[in-house]
Amino acid sequence: MQTQPKCLLLPIDGTHESLRPLAFISRLYPPSELNLILCYLSPPLPPVYWEAVSQPPELLRKKWEILEERQQDVRRIFDHAREVLLKEGFSEELIQEHIEQRELSAAKQACLLADIKKVDAVLVQKRVTSSLEGFIRGDSASALLQHCLSSPVWFTEGEIDPKSAAICIVDEDASLRVADHAGYMLSSTGAEITLLHAAKKPSHPISCRPSEALEKLAGYADTPVRRGKLSYLLKASSILADQGFDEGRIRITLIPDRGDTAGEILSWCASNGIGIIGLGHSEPEGVWSFLKTSVTRKILADFKNMAVWVTQ
């Protein structure tokens, strides 16, 4: 069965740093399985040039010089991005270019575009040093997560091995949404997925296949609350199975939570060769409640050599 190409939106700014996520997606997908939208948001003209009529000739001349120079810069930025993509083996026909003047915050405008284009995810580098700072510098990851309510956001950093993913599961529907997203995006890749839950009870990691979970995790699921959490792990495994994952590609793993949940997750993932972490967010509390949780903030701040996928 032919795999349907996935579609990602990549904001770019002309720097090499904004193109670093390309190395990750080139490892994740064959070029024929990906449509990529390159998005450039040009800065607005100074207010003095906004008037459409009754401008002095000198001002008009300067305005057109600025516009022509910007057009050349934009062409250079897109040409450089295409050159990098073609070297990575991407097909020219599957690369789209989109430019518009920035009228809102960069994050909000990119997320609106993602909704319009109905992309599968917005792809950004974790740390940037130039005009993409509106996306991710400091704590402004919250800007993307505030506005990208429909489109998942993929944050990348460093050298990423995409052969294994860990989807963080709690007893919330957001966990099922991120499992569904990961299942769809990874079903054709051969990647293995661990459904990961950090809990206070196990003194050491416990791992099993979904068909073994009721037996091997019976000691954990000894209260109604814990049985409810196990049911979410099993629901997530069923979602992956519906996406075409056989049981050999799915594990359910419990790890000890000694008080630093994010640190435990990152440490376990780093030790077990995980390249992708999936996180979810629940309504109705909203994004700001989500961002206040130390687990999510710490994972987004501290992850290295991974991709973190956040769905809402």
Q: Which class for 245: exposed (0-12), middle (13-18), buried (19 or more C-beta within 10 A)? A: buried
Average pLDDT over residues 280-288: 57
Where do runs of H (alpha helix) occur along 93-149?
Answer: 106-117, 133-136, 141-147
Pick the CATH number of 6-157 from 3.40.50.2000, 3.40.50.11740, 3.40.50.620, 3.40.190.10: 3.40.50.620
Does 134 or 171 have the greater pLDDT score?
A: 171
Question: What are the extents of the domains in the chain?
Answer: 6-157, 164-310
The answer on pLDDT for 157 being more than 90 is yes
pLDDT of residue 135: 46
- pTM for this entry: 0.88
Look at residues 152, 247, 264 and name the one whose alpha carbon lies nearest to residue 209: 247
CATH topology agreement for domains 6-157 and 164-310 = yes
**pLDDT per residue as tens digits for the range 225-256:** 999 999 999 999 999 999 999 999 999 999 99
Read off the pLDDT band of 191 (50, 70, 90).
Answer: very high
Neighbouring residues of 172: CB distance < 8 A, sequence distance ≥ 6:
232, 280, 282
What residues form DSSP beta bridges with 231?
A: none
pLDDT of residue 71: 86
Average pLDDT over residues 82-91: 88
Read off the pLDDT band of 48 (50, 70, 90).
Answer: low
What residues form DSSP beta bridges with 98?
A: 39
Mean pLDDT of the chain: 86
The answer on pLDDT for 270 being more than 60 is yes
What CATH number has the domain spanning 164-310? 3.40.50.620
